[in-house]
Structure 1
Amino acid sequence: MGLFLVNTSENNKHTSNDFSIMDQKASQFPSIKIERRIIEKNRRDQMKILYSKLYSLLPQHTSKEPLTLPDQIDEAINYIKNLEMRLKNYEGKKERLLGRKRLHTSLNFDSTAGKQRPPKIEIHEMGSVLEVILISGSENQFVFYEVIRIIQDEGADIINAKFSVSGETIYHVINAQIGDSMFIFGAAKITERLKRFVSGSSSDVEPQPELWDFEIHPGTWEF
């Protein structure tokens, strides 16, 4: 019958090492818990500081009672939402103003384009009466005075002159009486001279105001 010898000293050594490791781990648990508590406390303190800074940015309140932290947070959230709504309203107003500005610019451009259109003239012979229709822009008013001067310069008498305004366009209607001595060729001569003048009035030649010094009797005008 054989005998088995057991090395008890070796087994005892392993057992003692295991207990030592367990003791070290157990001793570390309290320190880990304390460290976590410190980290959490620091985090909360930092959040309180941030909340306090955020609340300090809000407008002054009439309430004298101090607000709790949740109330401060709600107050900040409501204020931010209010700012967002005001910002959207301002953006809407800005877009409307820009739209009006674009429309105003467009209208001014169209108006300016209308002003730059050359004047037009139509002449109708009705027996001894010559009817002159002049269409011009408001800045081409000198054309009207020059037409009157040419008619009188050719010996015709102004019966009446009327006008109407539509936007930046002025419509003139001038009626002139042709004398018996110029009945045959006078109308053709006046017509040719008026058309030649109006067609050249839109050129770069500046009008000469001294040529407008003709005498017009108020009794002959009907507005």
Structure 2
Amino acid sequence: MEELSQRDQVEEATAYIKLLTQRVEEMKRRKSEALMRSTASASSGGSMGGSKLPVLKVRELAGSNLEVVLISGLCKTFMLHQIISILQQEGAEVVDVNISNIGAQIFHTILAQVKVPRIGVNTSRIRMRIQELIS
């Protein structure tokens, strides 16, 4: 195996850097196009899988746990502390919150635990109160 001269190594490194730069530019272009498509679909009705945003799901999990999933668009803003307050008022204690921003959609996942498992919580009432807040 022949060793490359210093000049050849520099030329090889330069060519590799140019290739990486082209890849980065291509990825930036793809990202920009994807964001434009995502923004366009959100502004033309804000649909996700055939349903309008925001989407709210409240369900009871095993072990006296409660999960609230809220998918909203970037244009619709609300205060997360208001949802947490509703959960607390209805007898649940928030143990985890996860927020993800994907394109023009924000995914909120709130995991709560029922304070008094013997009494439980009224998920339909929680759903109704949160729906009033986000509508």
TM range (shorter): 0.5 to 0.7
Aligned match for 1:112, one of 18, 36, 43: 43
Alignment of 1:178-189 (within 5 A): 178-180=114-116, 183-187=117-121, 189=122
For the structure 1 residues 196 and 142, does the alpha-carbon distance in structure 2 shift closer, same or farther, using more than 3 Å as the test?
same
For the structure 1 residues 176 and 202, does the alpha-carbon distance in structure 2 shift closer, same or farther, using more than 3 Å as the test?
closer
Q: Structure 1 runs of 4+ off > 4 angstroms?
A: none
Q: Displacement, 1:178?
A: 0.6
Q: Is the 8 A contact 1:128 1:178 kept in 2?
A: yes
Q: Displacement, 1:136?
A: 1.1
Equivalent position of 2:101 in the other structure:
165
Matched, 1:195 2:127: yes
Equivalent position of 1:216 in the other structure:
none
Structure number, greater radius of gyration? 1
RMSD: 2.8
Counterpart Cα distance in 1 of 2:115 and 2:95: 12
Q: Displacement, 1:162?
A: 0.4
Q: Displacement, 1:148?
A: 1.5
Q: Displacement, 1:153?
A: 1.6
Secondary structure of 2:53's counterpart equals coil
Deviations 1:18-76 (A, max 9, x none): xxxxxxxxxxxxxxxxxxxxxxxxxxxxxxxxxxxxxxxxxxxxxxxxxxxxxxxxxxx
Equivalent position of 1:124 in the other structure:
59
For the structure 1 residues 109 and 121, does the alpha-carbon distance in structure 2 shift closer, same or farther, using more than 3 Å as the test?
same
> 5+ unaligned residues in a row in structure 1: which ranges?
1-102, 204-223
TM-score (normalizing by structure 1): 0.36
Q: State the percentage of identical aligned residues.
A: 32
Deviations 1:116-172 (A, max 9, x none): 833112222222111111111123231644322210122321101001111111111
Secondary structure of 2:76's counterpart equals helix
- Give the AA of the match of 1:186: G
Alignment of 1:58-207 (within 5 A): 107=37, 108-113=39-44, 115=46, 117-126=52-61, 127-142=63-78, 144-180=80-116, 183-187=117-121, 189=122, 191-201=123-133, 203=135
Alignment coverage as a number of residue pairs = 95
Q: Which has the higher contact order (CA 8 A, sep 6+)?
A: 2
More strand by share: 2
